[in-house]
């Protein structure tokens, strides 16, 4: 039903593109917000537990209003995750404000409900999630970039697949080949089981060229339905923004209670590494 709804909206939207005019009134903005429009900062949670044995990480920050600002990290919260009666305590990394790491290594297991609890600023915030399935990583390949010796990724990751929802985190490192920066890159790709009009007519992605011999690490995350909906809303306002159609920007609510923002998820993860050639 979600697919039918989005495709129907796609054709309806296209039929109006040629007749819609601008309904916006021009004006000037000095780059600052009035005191009345500035909301109190709220908690933002960015946490993914994985089925990989590791020190798991959760990031906490506050919302902000500055254009292109940096999210202020929160270093004075109490963070824990509970599953099957066992409590995993997290502590703030002294070197990175707002990055909380589990005190012991562990991996997420299937059929368990993981409950996050964050105590901060006299409030308690909760969220829960269970391990999501991940399908195999497809073949990662490259092609020559323009008339150079550099390579670029061949984007063969579909944005729509009715049988899976996934996020790809691809890290490319050629710092061993040159000290000239940039010599690293991180790319994200997504596959959703529901098509969206903004994805069908999304802006062209800027190519990221890199030299032969670069090291490439691919991580594929399996997404729950709720986390996939959250990420799709995010890319609609970022990666897919600027196409023919647009929507009003707004905060993504996520799954954390007490009016917090962000998402706490538990994902199955597959990792592959290769040398670009």
How would you class 223 by CB atoms within 10 Å of its CB: exposed for 0-12, middle for 13-18, buried for 19 or more? buried
Whole-angstrom distance, CA of residue 238 vs CA of residue 232 = 10
pLDDT of residue 198: 63
Q: Is 122 left (phi over 0), alpha (psi -120 to 50) or beta?
A: left
pLDDT of residue 258: 95
Give Dmax (Cα) for the chain.
60
Cis, bond preceding 182 (omega within 30 deg of 0):
yes
pLDDT of residue 107: 98
pLDDT of residue 12: 39
Beta strands in 3-153, from DSSP E residues, in sequence order: 43-50, 57-62, 78-83, 86-92, 99-102, 113-120, 123-132, 142-144, 151-153
pLDDT of residue 205: 78
Measured at the CA of 250, the angle between CA 245 and CA 251, to 5 degrees, comes to 140
pLDDT of residue 117: 98
Per-residue pLDDT of the chain (277 residues; tens, 9 = 90+): 444 444 444 433 444 333 334 344 444 545 554 444 456 889 999 999 999 999 999 999 999 877 677 889 999 999 999 999 999 999 999 999 999 999 999 999 999 999 999 999 999 999 999 999 999 999 999 999 998 999 999 988 988 999 999 999 999 999 999 999 999 999 999 999 987 666 566 667 789 999 999 999 999 999 999 999 999 988 887 776 655 555 555 567 799 999 999 999 999 999 999 999 9
Q: Confirm if 41 and 260 have CB atoms less than 8 A apart.
A: no
Whole-angstrom distance, CA of residue 46 vs CA of residue 261 = 9
**Residue ranges of domains in the chain:** 41-246+255-275
Whole-angstrom distance, CA of residue 219 vs CA of residue 187 = 11
């Amino acid at each position: 039903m979600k697919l039918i709804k989005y495709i129907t909206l796609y054709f309806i939207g296209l039929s109006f593109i040629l007749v819609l005019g601008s309904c916006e009134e021009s004006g000037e903005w000095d780059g600052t917000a009035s005191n009345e429009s500035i909301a109190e900062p709220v908690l933002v949670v960015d946490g993914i537990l994985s089925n990989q044995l590791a020190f798991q990480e959760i990031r906490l920050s506050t919302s902000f209003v500055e254009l292109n600002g940096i999210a202020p990290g929160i270093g004075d919260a109490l963070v824990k995750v509970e599953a099957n009666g066992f409590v995993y305590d997290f502590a703030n990394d002294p070197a990175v404000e707002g990055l909380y790491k589990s005190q012991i290594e562990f991996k997420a297991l299937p059929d368990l409900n993981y409950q996050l609890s964050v105590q901060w600023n006299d409030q308690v915030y909760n969220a829960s999630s269970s391990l999501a399935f991940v399908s195999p990583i497809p073949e990662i390949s490259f092609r020559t970039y323009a008339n150079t010796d550099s390579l670029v990724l061949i984007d063969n990751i579909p944005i729509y697949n009715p049988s899976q929802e996934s996020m790809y985190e691809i890290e490319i490192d050629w710092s061993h080949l040159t000290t000239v920066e940039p010599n690293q890159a991180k790319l994200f790709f997504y596959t959703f089981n529901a098509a969206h009009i903004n994805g069908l007519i999304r802006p062209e992605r800027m190519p990221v060229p890199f030299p032969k011999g670069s090291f490439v690490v691919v991580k594929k995350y399996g997404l729950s339905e709720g986390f996939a909906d959250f990420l799709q809303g995010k890319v609609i306002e970022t990666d897919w923004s600027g196409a023919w159609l647009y929507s009003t920007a707004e905060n993504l609510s996520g799954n954390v209670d007490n009016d917090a923002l962000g998402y706490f998820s538990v994902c199955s993860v597959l990792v592959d590494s290769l040398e670009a050639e």
